[in-house]
């Protein structure tokens, strides 16, 4: 029976009782409890079911290494699965639910299944089982695996996380990860040099294990030394201390992620729930401590079997006694501290079995002196299966598990030795050495991770380096602090010796099987990886089947692949693998340690980027007007552009047709502000633009415009737009909406890395200007009316401002630049005013235009209008594989220029191939609209038996002006096949028949734009 003690519990406040629920039952705990300690205090030994066999599982550990006690926390918009009870701080109203069972935790169908089918679930089960027959995969296996994969249920996709998150960038000379006595000492030593120091502690309390394990530092009890040191550090301006903040990962060049849990313990506090610290540290000290290893004996997963030091933690930290009759199994002296703690708290230690033939040292003597029975060379043969520990069978360690003695107990404390937490050291490449004496991998200080300067930037401190005794830990920590500060550029300092008082311990001995020659029945019940249900027998089977590489064995057996990433299981698993392969552990090696150290929330990774600031939305100066006038927006890059302006009672399609017709018949306004506008200026600007564009720009006359094409160096079309010559050495280049930043960058790249001696400056003025396309037969009338109202302005007549020219002046009182350019084939002016006057100018046009039938139009009307005229659109007719010749744009490729980007590429054999698909117009035989992206098929089949393709649709629309579907496409030998009818199989089974025609569908002579 697990109970709350009347006394003890250094972390709980007995004056503050809190209620919480577990599987709907209300339970009580204290402030300062973890969910795990509170569950144990309520005798809740069974906390979950295992992944594969649905075995009953209890709490094994007291910290982040816990593999079993994963629960679903919270509900609705605050529900989160797979949360470790051991690191969940208790608060009033906490709701926890156990996972991985059906119909209930106590009675689980899966468990019965596993008893029947356990022998069908060996290592590599998935690989072996789900191969044949093939159709079973989709209909039987995959649904089954998906249902059983993962642990807790994923949150409901309809429920949006109620919390907010944020990032924080921080820079420091020295970052200390871990706020135990080693971390505090390292911080103190480093801070004394004046270095800027940040210390992260993942728990809500400082000092780590030392107050539980005892000992004195500098003449003070560990707890008092911690309080004093915290006070000293807190008073220093150069030191920042953060608790509830885990060092999650160490990355290149001193980049470290800290995961701060701000409100997990107080969900009603408000403010962000998690903060992700994005730290740049010159030096990182990992004072991450060590993790105790389980022992591999049969039934080591029965609820009530826990790590020895964790049992001690529950007693000392939270005043919880996990059992009244405790059996302790160990291969080292540290577990005797648990015997002392159990005894001191009034529990009964029914037996200590020490696997070592010669047993323990002083601590063992102390235990014996209390009258506790200690047996050397003994082992646990088996813990009886069940939902809690009831009986423990003991045997000789050096045997097969026979001649058992069965004793009654309700808890087992086990210790297989300690492994330094090397994860953060290893994340960025720190290497390890095998320490055979202590049976663990420890960091090799000569092979540390290196930073941008090629020098080491991570140093370990305390038991994270390997030593376990308090004296050695403190000495190592002080040295680490000094080393880090010096490497961060602070003065070197001699490290004073730190006086400590602790007990000498006898040498541990590695025990990988308990008993040493356990038979198969026992090995099949000896768990290595609790969370993924991997047993000793599984790893042995993998080895027999030829999985000799540790990385392969890991994936084959899933050892260490659960959410705890094998913190408890890896070393034991490696030892079993090495034994099976008749090899040594260092030869087998370790798997790779990857960040994060423990799972961190997706919310923290996303930071502030959710809701309205999920991503930047770019708005034109007229955005609000569009929104208020029925705009149905579409994303164009980060811009939001009106697709159409929908009126009451209209569908979007209706609106598009209305806008298309009105623009040809009356007057349309288009917000063209998103078009890129780059000013290129300098004595070499003309020469430069001649390289950038396929056609000649240097000879463009001042006041005139020219449509230009841009190709990449390998010849493909990348952008187009109208270029205007502003003055002797200045040009203004329009780009596509998506091209402004890209083309600006493209120009800068060539100017900075290739023609860096050319005198050219480029400035992106896209957002300086609001640009409105005034389009339609009434375009001139509305501008003239505005000018008349303002009492004069720019002459916009055909004579004063001819097609493909521009003028500066005033329109309706607005300072403006007007371009006579047309992307619709209509009489059209594109007028640029300052962005700050964009809305006012738009309003003026709209008001004045009412008598001329003005309507705003959106991007879909823009597309249809240009398609009616056979104008290409970058991104529709081009896809990164299309060259100007494919689009019959040879006229825009200068023959006079010796060079331009793409010119050389156009002479490559494939580019000059006469069989390249070329642009044509397409008209369906029945007037319907061709499906977008459809492929045309020709005679014969390809190597795969599919029909040969001879072309594809690049743009396709319903033209309201023509009353039929129109399309453009790329077709093999297309321009030579005018009038031919080709077939486009649709995905709906229909064969669409279309006639190859000229791509200019409307006003073929171009009379309407030049009036």
Partner 1 sequence: MSDPVSALKGARHAGLVEVRETGLGGMITLRGDLDSDAIKSAVKSVTGADVPALRKIALGDAGAAAWMSPDELLLLVDYAEADAVVAKLDEALVGTHYMATNVSDARACFSVSGEAAREVMGKLAPVDFSAAKFGAGDFRRSRLAQVAAAFWMDDAGAFHIVCFRSVGQYMFDLLKVASHPQSAVGVY
Partner 2 sequence: MLMLHCPFCDEYVEETELQAGGEAHLKRFGPGSSDDEFHDYLFTRENPKGVHFELWRHINGCGKWFIAARCTVTLEVFGTYPANCTEPPQWIKDKISEKRPGWTWREFAG
Give the footprint of partner 1 on this chain (CB under 8 A): 164, 166-171, 196, 240, 269-272, 275, 278, 280, 607-609, 612-613, 615-621, 638-639, 679, 681-683, 759, 761, 763, 765-769, 813-815, 834-837, 839-841, 844
Interface pick for partner 2 out of 25, 582, 615, 907 (rule CB under 8 A): 907
- Kindly tell me which of 165 and 957 has the beta carbon lying closer to partner 1: 165
Backbone angles phi, psi at 134, to 5 degrees: -55, -45
| Cβ contact 191:219 at 8 Å | no
Rounded CA-CA distance 151/739 in Å is 46
What is the C-alpha separation between 566 and 988, in angstroms, rounded?
51
Cβ atoms of 874 and 709 within 8 Å: the answer is no
- Options 16, 77, 253, 976; binder of partner 2; rule CB under 8 A: 253
Alpha-carbon distances of 807 from 702, 793, 900, 1008, 1011, rounded to whole Å: 10, 11, 29, 21, 17
User: Which helix (H) or strand (E) segment is 231 a member of?
Assistant: helix 222-234
Should residue 676 be labelled a site residue for partner 2 when binding is judged by CB under 8 A? no
Candidate residues 240, 324, 583, 714; the one interacting with partner 2 per rule CB under 8 A:
714
12 vs 733 by CB, closer to partner 2: 733
Question: Number of residues in contact with partner 2, rule: CB under 8 A?
Answer: 28
447 lies in the site for partner 2, by CB under 8 A: no
638 binds partner 2 (CB under 8 A): no
Q: DSSP class of residue 297?
A: -
767 binds, among partner 1, partner 2, none (CB under 5 to 8 A by kind): partner 1
Query: Which of 16, 638, 904, 1004 is close enough to bind partner 2 by CB under 8 A?
Result: 904
Output the smallest distance, CB 449 to partner 1, in A.
21
Query: What is the chain's alpha carbon radius of gyration, rounded to the nearest angstrom?
Result: 38
Residue 164 contacts residue 273 (beta carbons within 8 Å): yes
Applying CB under 8 A, does 452 fall inside the site for partner 2? yes
What, of partner 1, partner 2, none, does residue 814 touch, CB below 5 to 8 Å by kind? partner 1
Q: Which is nearer to partner 1, 580 or 674 (CB)?
A: 674
- Residue 990 touches which member of partner 2, partner 1, none, C-beta under 5-8 Å by kind: none
d(Cα 603, Cα 166) in Å, to the nearest integer? Answer: 8
Q: Which of 594, 815 has the CB closer to partner 1? A: 815
Handedness of CA 29, 30, 36, 37 (dihedral sign): negative
- The least distance separating partner 2 from the CB of residue 489, rounded to whole angstroms, comes to 14
Stretch that binds partner 2, among 23-31, 131-139, 588-596, 895-903 (CB under 8 A): 895-903
Q: Is 910 in the site for partner 2 (CB under 8 A)?
A: no
The Cα 707–Cα 724 span in angstroms is: 9
Does the footprint of partner 2 cover residue 756 (CB under 8 A)? yes
Q: Judge whether 637 and 742 are in contact, CB under 8 Å.
A: no
Nearer residue to partner 1 within complex by CB, 44 or 737: 737
Evaluate whether 413 touches 307 at the Cβ level (below 8 Å): yes
3-state secondary structure at position 208 = coil
With H, G, I as helix, E, B as strand and everything else as coil, classify residue 920: strand
Using alpha carbons, select from 73, 76, 43, 78 the residue that is nearest to residue 58: 43
Least distance to partner 2 from the beta carbon of 105, Å? 43
Count of residues making up the chain: 1011
Residue 77 CB, nearest approach to partner 1 (Å): 18
Cβ 749 to partner 1 shortest distance, Å:
15
Residues 930 and 922 sit within 8 Å (Cβ to Cβ): yes
Give the three-class secondary structure for 720.
strand
Taking CB under 8 A as the binding criterion, the range among 232-240, 514-522, 614-622, 906-914 that sits at the site for partner 2 is 906-914
Q: Would you state the structure tokens that stand for residue 759, as one six-digit string?
A: 């005198």
Shortest CB 448 distance to partner 2, Å: 12
Burial of 170 (0-12, 13-18, 19+ CB in 10 A): middle
Q: Residues 753, 939, 944, 946: which binds partner 2 (CB under 8 A)?
A: 753
650 binds, among partner 1, partner 2, none (CB under 5 to 8 A by kind): none
Q: Is 713 a binder of partner 2 (CB under 8 A)? A: yes
Give the one entry of partner 1, partner 2, none that residue 687 binds, where binding means its C-beta sits below a cut-off of 5 to 8 angstroms depending on kind: none
Q: Both tokens of residue 739?
A: 């091209």
Distance of closest approach, residue 20 Cβ to partner 1, in angstroms:
24
Query: How does 316-340 read in b/e, with b if 16+ C-beta sit within 10 Å?
Result: bbbbbbbbbbbbbbbbbbbbbbbbb
Based on CB atoms, which residue is closest to partner 1, 833 or 950? Answer: 833
Question: Which residues within the stretch 728-747 sit at the binding site for partner 2 (CB under 8 A)?
Answer: 745
Of 451 and 828, which has the nearer Cβ to partner 2? 451
Please say which residue, 169 or 891, places its beta carbon nearer to partner 1.
Answer: 169
Shortest spacing between CB 752 and partner 2, in angstroms: 4
119 binds partner 2 (CB under 8 A): no
User: In degrees rounded to 5, what are phi and psi of residue 907?
Assistant: -95, 0
N-term to C-term CA, the chain: 97
Sign of the dihedral defined by the CA atoms of residues 655, 656, 661, 663, in that order: positive
Is 34 in contact with 86 (CB distance < 8 Å)? yes
608 touching partner 2, by CB under 8 A: no
State the binding partner of 19 from partner 1, partner 2, none, CB within 5 to 8 A by kind: none
Residues binding partner 2 (CB under 8 A) = 251-255, 280, 450-454, 713-714, 745, 748-749, 752-754, 756, 898-899, 903-905, 907-909
């Amino acid at each position: 029976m697990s109970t709350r003690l009347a006394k003890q519990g250094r972390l709980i406040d007995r004056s503050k009782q809190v209620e919480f629920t577990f599987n709907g039952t209300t339970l009580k705990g204290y402030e300062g409890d973890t969910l795990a300690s509170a569950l144990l205090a309520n005798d809740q030994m069974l906390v979950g079911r295992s992944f594969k066999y649905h075995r009953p599982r209890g709490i094994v550990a007291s910290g982040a290494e816990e593999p079993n006690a994963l629960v679903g926390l919270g509900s609705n918009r605050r529900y989160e699965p797979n949360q470790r009870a051991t690191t969940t701080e208790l608060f009033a109203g906490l709701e926890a639910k156990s996972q991985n069972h059906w119909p209930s935790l106590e009675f689980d169908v899966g468990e019965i299944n596993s008893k029947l089918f356990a022998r069908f679930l060996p290592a590599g089960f998935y690989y072996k089982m789900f191969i044949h027959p093939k159709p079973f995969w989709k209909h039987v296996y995959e649904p089954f695996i998906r249902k059983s994969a993962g642990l807790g249920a994923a949150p409901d996709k309809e429920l949006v996380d109620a919390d907010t998150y944020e990032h924080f960038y921080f820079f420091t000379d020295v970052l200390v990860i871990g706020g135990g006595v080693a971390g505090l000492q390292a911080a103190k030593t480093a801070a004394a040099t004046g270095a800027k120091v940040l210390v992260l502690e993942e728990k809500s309390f400082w000092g780590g294990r030392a107050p539980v394990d005892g000992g004195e530092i500098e003449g003070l009890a560990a707890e008092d030394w911690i309080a004093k040191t915290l006070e000293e550090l807190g008073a220093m301006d150069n030191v920042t201390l953060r608790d509830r903040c885990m060092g999650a990962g160490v990355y290149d060049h001193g980049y470290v992620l800290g995961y701060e849990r701000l409100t997990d313990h107080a969900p009603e506090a408000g403010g962000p729930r998690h903060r992700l610290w994005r730290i740049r540290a010159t030096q990182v000290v990992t004072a991450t401590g060590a993790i105790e290893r389980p022992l591999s004996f049969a039934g080591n997963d029965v609820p009530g079997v826990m790590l020895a030091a964790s049992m001690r933690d529950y007693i000392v930290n939270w005043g919880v006694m996990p059992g009244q009759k405790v059996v302790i199994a160990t291969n080292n002296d540290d577990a005797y501290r648990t015997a002392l703690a159990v005894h001191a708290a009034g529990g009964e230690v029914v037996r200590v079995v020490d696997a070592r033939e010669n047993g323990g040292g002083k601590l063992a003597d102390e235990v014996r002196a209390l009258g506790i029975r200690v047996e050397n060379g003994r082992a646990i043969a088996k813990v009886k299966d069940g939902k809690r520990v009831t009986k423990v069978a003991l045997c000789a360690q050096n045997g097969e598990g026979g001649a058992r003695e069965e004793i009654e107990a309700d808890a087992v404390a086990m210790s297989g030795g300690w492994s330094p937490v090397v994860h953060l050291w290893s994340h960025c490449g720190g290497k390890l050495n095998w320490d055979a004496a202590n049976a663990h991998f420890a960091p090799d200080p000569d092979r540390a991770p290196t930073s941008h300067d090629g020098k080491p930037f991570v140093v370990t401190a305390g038991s994270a380096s390997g030593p376990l005794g308090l004296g050695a830990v403190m000495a190592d920590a002080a040295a680490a602090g000094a080393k880090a500060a010096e490497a961060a550029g602070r003065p070197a300092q001699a490290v004073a010796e730190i006086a400590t008082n602790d007990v000498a311990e006898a040498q541990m001995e590695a025990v990988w099987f308990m008993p040493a020659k356990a038979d198969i029945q026992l090995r099949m019940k000896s768990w290595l990886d609790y969370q993924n249900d991997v047993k000793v027998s599984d790893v042995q089977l993998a080895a027999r089947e030829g999985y000799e590489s540790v990385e392969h064995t890991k994936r084959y057996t899933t050892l260490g692949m659960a959410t705890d990433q094998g913190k408890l299981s890896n070393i034991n698993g490696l030892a079993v693998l090495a034994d099976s392969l008749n090899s040594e552990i260092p030869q087998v090696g370790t798997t790779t340690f990857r960040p994060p150290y423990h799972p961190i929330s997706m919310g923290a990774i996303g930071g502030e980027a959710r809701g309205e600031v999920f991503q930047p939305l770019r708005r034109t100066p007229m955005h609000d007007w569009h929104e208020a006038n029925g705009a149905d927006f579409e994303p164009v890059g980060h811009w939001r552009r009106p697709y159409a302006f929908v009126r009451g009672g209209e569908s979007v399609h209706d609106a598009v047709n209305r806008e298309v017709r009105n623009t040809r018949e009356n007057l349309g306004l288009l917000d063209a502000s998103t078009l890129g506008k780059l000013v290129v200026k300098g004595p070499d600007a003309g020469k430069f633009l001649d390289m950038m564009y396929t056609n000649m720009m240097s000879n463009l006359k001042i006041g005139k415009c020219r449509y230009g094409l841009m190709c990449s160096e390998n010849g493909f079309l990348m952008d187009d737009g109208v270029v205007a010559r502003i003055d002797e050495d200045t040009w203004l280049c329009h780009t596509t909406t998506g091209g402004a930043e890209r083309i600006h960058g493209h120009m800068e790249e060539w100017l900075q890395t290739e023609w860096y001696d050319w005198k050219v400056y480029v400035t992106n003025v896209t957002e300086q200007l609001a640009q409105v396309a005034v389009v339609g037969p009434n375009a001139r009338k509305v501008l003239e009316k505005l000018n008349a109202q303002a009492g004069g302005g720019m002459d916009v007549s055909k004579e004063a401002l001819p097609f493909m020219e521009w003028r500066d002046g005033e329109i309706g009182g607005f300072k403006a630049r007007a371009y006579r350019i047309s992307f619709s084939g209509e009489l059209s002016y594109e007028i640029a005013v300052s962005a700050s006057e964009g809305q006012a100018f738009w309003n003026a046009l709209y008001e004045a235009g009412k008598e001329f039938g003005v309507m705003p139009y959106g991007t879909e009307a823009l597309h249809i209008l240009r398609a009616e005229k056979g104008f290409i659109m970058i991104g529709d007719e081009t896809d990164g594989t299309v060259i100007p010749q494919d689009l019959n744009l040879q006229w825009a490729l200068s023959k006079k220029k010796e060079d331009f980007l793409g010119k050389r590429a156009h002479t490559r054999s494939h580019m000059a191939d006469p069989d390249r698909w070329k642009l044509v117009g397409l008209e369906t035989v029945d007037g319907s609209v061709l499906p977008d992206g459809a492929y045309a098929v020709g005679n014969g089949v390809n190597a795969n038996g599919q029909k040969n393709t001879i072309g594809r649709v690049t743009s396709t629309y319903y033209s309201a002006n023509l009353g039929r579907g129109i399309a453009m496409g790329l077709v093999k030998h297309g321009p030579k096949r005018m009038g031919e009818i080709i077939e486009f199989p649709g995905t709906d089974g229909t064969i669409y028949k279309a006639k190859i025609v000229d791509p200019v569908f409307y006003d073929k002579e171009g009379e309407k734009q030049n009036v």
